[in-house]
Amino acid sequence: MVDPVSYKEFIADISGPLGWFFVVLTAMNLVAAARTLLGGGGASLFHRKVLRFSMGHLWLVLAVWFAIQAVMCFRADPASIAWVAMPTWAKQWIDRWMSPTWYTMGLLGALLGMFLARRFFVQPPVAWLTLNLSLWFLGASLTDQNFFQIVSKPDNVPIVGMVYLLGFFTWLSAYRAVQNDDRLARGEPPLEAVDKEKTLVWPDLVYIELICMVAVTALLIVWAIVLKAPLEEPANAAHTPNPSKAPWYFLGLQELLVYFDPWLAGVVLPGLILFGLIAIPYLDPNPEGVGYYTIKRRPFAYVVFQFGFLGLWISLILMGTFLRGPNWSFFGIYETWDVHKSATLQHYNLSDYFWIWMLGRELPTAILWREMPGLVLMALYFVGLPILAACRLPLFRQLYAQMGWPRFAIMMLLLMWMVLLPIKMVANWQLNLQYFVAIPEWTLNL
């Protein structure tokens, strides 16, 4: 995307709103510093004789830092904004590592790391510091024209808000789960069992709902005034938008269409993913962890759900929103959306690799013989791998003993389809592998 407005005029337009953004961050950290210092200062980060630097002092330093950033923004000149903006070398480094493979594997690795180190990440000071760093990253990146045009698009503003809301509620659920796990380890009941106070629908609940309704209505009015409605010109067959994107809630399906046939990507896979997420508590026979937050009592169900929801569904929506540009090519978040950049058009099937590249022969004319490598591979994946897991891996052996073979087979079928998606995506990006099994004669491509 090439902005005709000069960078100086761009800075003049965003300096005011960006300055107030940092003012809000300053106020947030001043309140956090006051509460922490009045409560004893929080955990000590540095203590030498009479000198003590605590978490409260850290929030105060962040407040001062954000106040300086706000002053630099209000000066509204490129030289001052340079102290706020993301450095050029950092933007180039981020764009270089924002390839689809690194994005997908990095996100899944981050989710796994946060799960394993959840006791560290659920600590309120760590969560508050992470929130500050993410907001600073957002503010520093908004000084880039390409990033600003993507993020500030009326269609994409709710997606940015969704990221922070998902982060907060995921953290809150993990925080309560860790608390309950610690309480259960000490022989105490979970927090949900302690708070058994009943709340009357009238007047307590109705009053709360009324207040929320008024607050949300006011928010929507302000939203409608500040942001322009994302309405475009009437549909014109002679002028197709590039990129032509579905609504945000269908971007995951649009991304799936790149790797699978339409009937499989648009009907079967979404149905299996949603059905699988819904079926987790019914397939898992573990009677513990019902009615309260916990991770330790149901780790398998927790990991599978977070992988399917955050690692796949939300990940695909973010990929389609921020990383897919003209011609459905991948772009870094700071990269100019050049319409001349095209996606890789060379795609091969597994049968091509097997018969032509490995054996040096032409593709057989018999359909089943031609696709035999892919059919064997899929049989090993969907049948052999679950059997091997049930026999060799302690976790799956325990699940098989608890579930019995019917529920275990359904669970593994859903899980294997879920895991197949990132495998197929990485194979497409790294090996230009289009289909494991390609039978266009039968409209069956996998």
Percent of the chain at pLDDT above 90? 22
pTM attached to this predicted model: 0.86
The phi, psi pair for 54, rounded to 5°, reads -115, 180
**DSSP class of residue 381?**
I
In whole angstroms, how large is the CA radius of gyration of the chain? 26
Other residues' Cβ atoms within 10 Å of the Cβ of residue 418: 19
CA dihedral of residues 271, 272, 275, 280 (deg, nearest 10) = -160
Over range 261-268, report the average pLDDT: 83
pLDDT grade, residue 42 (50/70/90)? low
Return d(Cα 340, Cα 146) in angstroms, integer.
16
Asked whether the predicted pLDDT for residue 3 surpasses 60, the reply is no
Instruction: Determine contact, residues 100/425, Cβ cutoff 8 Å.
Output: yes
Over range 82-99, report the average pLDDT: 88
pLDDT grade, residue 20 (50/70/90)? very high
Instruction: Determine contact, residues 22/67, Cβ cutoff 8 Å.
Output: yes
pLDDT at 343: 62
Give tens-digit pLDDT for 171-216.
999 999 999 999 999 988 888 888 777 778 888 888 889 999 999 9
Return d(Cα 358, Cα 352) in angstroms, integer.
9
Over range 47-65, report the average pLDDT: 79
Q: What is the mean pLDDT of the chain?
A: 86
What is the torsional sign of CA 305, 308, 311, 315?
A: negative
Instruction: Determine contact, residues 252/316, Cβ cutoff 8 Å.
Output: yes
Tell the burial category of 279 from Cβ atoms under 10 Å away from its Cβ (0-12, 13-18, 19+): middle
Phi-psi region of 42 (alpha: psi -120 to 50; beta: other; left: phi over 0): left
Instruction: Determine contact, residues 265/255, Cβ cutoff 8 Å.
Output: no
pLDDT grade, residue 1 (50/70/90)? very low
pLDDT grade, residue 48 (50/70/90)? low
Question: What are the domain boundaries of the chain?
Answer: 87-116+153-197+243-341, 350-445
Asked whether the predicted pLDDT for residue 278 surpasses 90, the reply is no
